[in-house]
Amino acid sequence: MTETGAVVRTGFVDRVEHMDELRSLLADVTEGRGGRAIVVDSVSGMGKSALLRAFEAEAAASPGPGVCRVVSVRCQPSIGSALHYGAIVELLLQLARDQEVKQPGVFRRFLSFTGQGVVRSAPEVLSAIVPGLGALFALGKEVAEASLASGSMPFDSLLPFQQGAAAQIVDALLDLVRQGPPTVVLIDDIQYGDPSSLLVLDRLLRRLPGEPLGLVLSHTTDGAYVDGPGSMVEDLLHDWAKDGLLRRRALDGLPQDAVAELVRSRHPEAPPTLSEQLSRLTAGHAVFVTLCLEEWRPDAGPTVELPNSLSRVVEERLRLLTELDRELLMIGATQGETFLSRTVAEVKGAPHDEVMERLRLIAAQHRLVLPAQPPGWARLDASDCYRFEHSALWGVVYDQQTPQQMRSRHARIAAALTTGTMDGMPLERRLEIARHLRNGGTECLLASAEVHYGLARDAAMEGLSFAEAERHCEEVIKAVRDLPQQEESLDQWLVQAVELLLSLTEVRWRGQHQPAGGPDIDALAAEAEAAARRCCSPELAIRTTLLRGKTLLATQGLVPSLDKLRAAVELAEQHGDPVPLFVARVEYGRQVSKRRLADGLAQLREAERMYASDPRLGGTSDPVLQHARNLGEMQLGITLYDSGHLSEAQARLGRCVQRLRDEPLRAELPIALNYLAQVHMGLGAYEDAEEVLGEALAFEADRGGDSGWHAYNKALLAHLLIQQPAKRGRALELIADAWAETERTWLANLVPIVRNLYAEILLLAADEPGELLDQADRLAVATCVETQRSGMIRSEIAAHSLRSRILLRRGDTVGAQEQARQAVRILDEVGDMPALRTEEVLYHSAVVLAAGGVREEASVLLQRARREVDRKAEQVSDDLSRDRFLTRVPLNNAILHGEGVDR
């Protein structure tokens, strides 16, 4: 079996085992046994595409038309890895066309985006058919613009927009499938799949069971492709197979009987030894078998000498061409597997009419290229279009050039394709230009940086396609680093690219948990910071210093981060512009609260004063300032709560939440709801807290995707529910889910908090020593170790306190006392901490010490805890709330009655 149609032309030799598996999948889908997925793997040229086409033709010709439909799409080479939702757009178009036949006019608006418009604006195409997606894209674009402009937006609140878009697209796709007959979707060349399409496929695979939909992918496993995203796709396929979402089947060389069948069909007069030699020399490689058969002639005799490599076969064909024709084919191969006659002519500097004629003759006489339809972005170019008969042939022709010939031709192709400005140019064309620029050598570096940076911003803002945007950013950084040092714009380009890349990847920063091969975020931030200083731009210096503070927090911990964030505030004060000063002060105030609560309170109060008094801040609707204002306001509210000002905190956070509910973006709403729930819980308003957390979880569930704050809210709800014996099982399920989501998102400031909540919930759920207590101890120990590096003292204190309680339950009073004293010692050194109730640490330490017979020390701690409760009660403004605070909060009640401490 070999490739057919657009590739090497030959008869299909049935792959019995593989066709049987495809027929089985088709039968399962048709007969309502649920959908499943298969991947066909092989090196290039083994016949995967021919297998899919033969299966599609067989299904179309089977009895009972309309019983099952087969829809096929192909991920496009060269540009496919960066074209947002490319394969998914094509798939939806085909499904919608089928539905249009049954219900004329229903999808007319959607179908009107075919052709060039699809390439230019995939979000608009998708929005036309996916209910609600247009609003999600519009909202996500606003959030993305604010994120990229501010340098301080937590992308944890942005990534769910892309994941939510994928979920809505899958819903719409399945709706279309259900409106028609059972469907099998064939996706050829998945190695070219763009990240946004792969995200949709990931969700689709998880929905297949029970749906009238089957999925078949073909995947080329060798390295024959230029600029392919192969490793990422291979990792995904591995994970999908490991999770049982699909089955992988390898397509090896043709068996000897299949080679013999091909020989008989092509050359009935050939001697039997020919098929034996072909099988031995080609190892059944389908394309190689076909090419060798095309070279063989009956007058060669019963014994023939066959070339021992595919390259030799192609080289022999190329020798039959004139020198000019070989050069034209090499230029075409440099453009890609598919190429344009006009581009070849411009690169060669020859008349277009002459080049068109020569290419026509090559296609007609030499079986190397075939006429093809031009891609959508080139349909107005007045050009013939050709493609190589097979990608393996294209690769051999491309490799006939020297490295400098390749670079020079890529550069000239980029110039030939760049007609006019990039504004309004179809995305596919811009991607094609970018590909040639990055392969065009030193002369193209600056242009490559400019084009890729524009593509990165568009991918992030227009399509919420962050993985594609990251790739473009990496190309910018690579190009800028290779630029000669005397290039004036070098530093500015570097700063812009690094800032954008780090903003895009912020949600995945994992510090020392950084995945292998990921960017060194702090090294990048340091590089940008140094470049900003060389630019002598105060604005860039402030932004990059602020950014460096955030990478240090993720990689080295809170203390070095605070030094850098404080430096950003000082730079902004020297610069005198209130906008960067306000943004920097909010960020510093938020983080310094984790170390010194009073310092955080002072910074946040000053930021609030600035916003209220300066019209350049409060009198504008700038999303950057609105975002900083929202973060600052809610952080001030929770800092007041942590400082003991409960009523003021409740009022402030209540107003903040209400205002955020009425904003169009509501990006920070889950954080504000989390803080408000904490205050409600602190005041004993548990029903209100549960309602607020339910709102937060529902809000993020609608957006879709993982989120660190979604995990934290889930953990807080679990902590509420564990107090109710009837809901213990639900609480354990929730906290396990919350921790798994926290591990996936890994926001440095939330990880130890959720881990400690997990440990405490396990402690409260444990009826006796055993696995639950052991697991709780492991979690608390992990936090103690981690916080030594990260500097998150609040969580370190809480973890020691938790360990004291766990060890006491195990009967280890000596170890429990040691941990209790450690918690109090650190607390006395640093004072009140956020997300940590001082009275709770003091009380539990008192209980542990009393259990060990250290009554006097325990009594002192209990009295300190009572003073803390009394101090906070005085700050509660109304009698009803104060009474509830003192009587309904179990901790406060236990402190006031001396439970477990007093005799």
**Per residue in 271-282, pLDDT tens?**
877 777 777 766
- CATH class label, 750-897: mainly alpha
- The C-alpha atoms of residue 588 and residue 569 are separated, in whole angstroms, by 7
Question: Contact, 393 vs 314, CB < 8 A?
Answer: yes
Q: Is the pLDDT of residue 301 over 60?
A: no
Q: For residue 426, how far is the Cα from the chain centroid? A: 24
CB atoms near residue 221 (< 10 Å): 16
Average pLDDT on 149-156 reads: 51
Dihedral, CA of residue 444, residue 445, residue 450 and residue 455, to nearest 10:
90
Q: Is the pLDDT of residue 82 over 60?
A: no
- The C-alpha atoms of residue 609 and residue 777 are separated, in whole angstroms, by 44
Report the half-sphere exposure of 820 (CA within 13 A, side-chain side).
28
Task: pLDDT band for 11, please (50, 70, 90 cuts).
Answer: very low
Highest mean pLDDT, choosing among 18-27, 125-134, 758-767 = 758-767
pTM of the model: 0.78
Report the half-sphere exposure of 875 (CA within 13 A, side-chain side).
20
Q: Where are the CATH 3.40.50.300 domain residues in the chain?
A: 16-250
- The C-alpha atoms of residue 52 and residue 391 are separated, in whole angstroms, by 17
φ, ψ dihedrals at 889, nearest 5°: -80, 115
Q: Is the pLDDT of residue 366 over 90?
A: no
Q: Give 196-258 as a DSSP string.
A: HHHHHHHHHHHH-TTSSEEEEEEEE-SS--TT--HHHHHHHHHHHHHTTS-EEEE--PPPHHH
Q: Is the pLDDT of residue 665 over 80?
A: no
What was the pLDDT predicted at 108? 47
Task: pLDDT band for 240, please (50, 70, 90 cuts).
Answer: very high
- The C-alpha atoms of residue 561 and residue 114 are separated, in whole angstroms, by 50
Q: Which residue has the tokens 């992030």?
A: 460
222: left (phi > 0), else alpha (psi -120 to 50), else beta?
Answer: beta
876: left (phi > 0), else alpha (psi -120 to 50), else beta?
Answer: beta
Spatial CA neighbour of 515 closest among 755, 738, 744? 744
Spatial CA neighbour of 465 closest among 119, 705, 89, 166? 166
- 769: tokens are 């020593």
Strands 183-188, 69-74: parallel, antiparallel or unpaired by DSSP?
parallel
Question: Contact, 87 vs 200, CB < 8 A?
Answer: no
Q: Output the CATH code of domain 316-401.
A: 1.10.10.10
- The C-alpha atoms of residue 260 and residue 265 are separated, in whole angstroms, by 9
What was the pLDDT predicted at 230? 58
Question: Contact, 811 vs 769, CB < 8 A?
Answer: yes
Task: pLDDT band for 513, please (50, 70, 90 cuts).
Answer: very low
Q: Where are the CATH 1.25.40.10 domain residues in the chain?
A: 750-897
Q: For residue 262, how far is the Cα from the chain centroid? A: 46
User: What order of strands is seen across the sheet that includes strand 69-74?
Assistant: 69-74, 183-188, 213-220, 37-42, 247-250
Lowest mean pLDDT among 215-224, 346-355, 539-548: 215-224
Q: Is the pLDDT of residue 569 over 80?
A: yes
Q: Where are the CATH 1.10.10.10 domain residues in the chain?
A: 316-401
Question: Contact, 470 vs 501, CB < 8 A?
Answer: yes
User: What order of strands is seen across the sheet that includes strand 338-340?
Assistant: 338-340, 385-388, 369-371
Question: Contact, 272 vs 259, CB < 8 A?
Answer: no
- 782: tokens are 């992990």
Strands 213-220, 369-371: parallel, antiparallel or unpaired by DSSP?
unpaired
Q: For residue 531, how far is the Cα from the chain centroid? A: 28
- 771: tokens are 């696995």
pLDDT, one tens digit per residue, over 437-477 is 999 999 999 999 999 999 988 888 776 777 788 889 999 99
Q: Is the pLDDT of residue 205 over 90?
A: yes
Task: pLDDT band for 300, please (50, 70, 90 cuts).
Answer: low
SS3 186: strand
Task: pLDDT band for 395, please (50, 70, 90 cuts).
Answer: confident
What was the pLDDT predicted at 503? 79
Average pLDDT on 520-549 reads: 92
What was the pLDDT predicted at 511? 54
Question: Contact, 736 vs 721, CB < 8 A?
Answer: no
If you average pLDDT over every residue of the chain, what do you get? 85
SS3 271: coil
- The C-alpha atoms of residue 262 and residue 285 are separated, in whole angstroms, by 12
| Superfamily the domain 16-250 falls into | P-loop containing nucleotide triphosphate hydrolases (3.40.50.300)
Q: For residue 745, how far is the Cα from the chain centroid? A: 11
CA of 677: how far to CAs of 36, 720, 753, 854, in Å? 43, 10, 15, 36
Dihedral, CA of residue 554, residue 556, residue 557 and residue 563, to nearest 10:
-110
- Long-range contacts made by residues 521-530, C-beta under 8 angstroms, separation at least 24? 521/551, 521/554, 521/555, 522/548, 522/551, 522/552, 522/554, 522/555, 522/556, 524/477, 524/498, 524/551, 525/498, 525/550, 525/551, 525/552, 527/494, 527/498, 528/494, 528/495, 528/498, 528/499, 528/502
- Read off the DSSP letter of residue 488: T
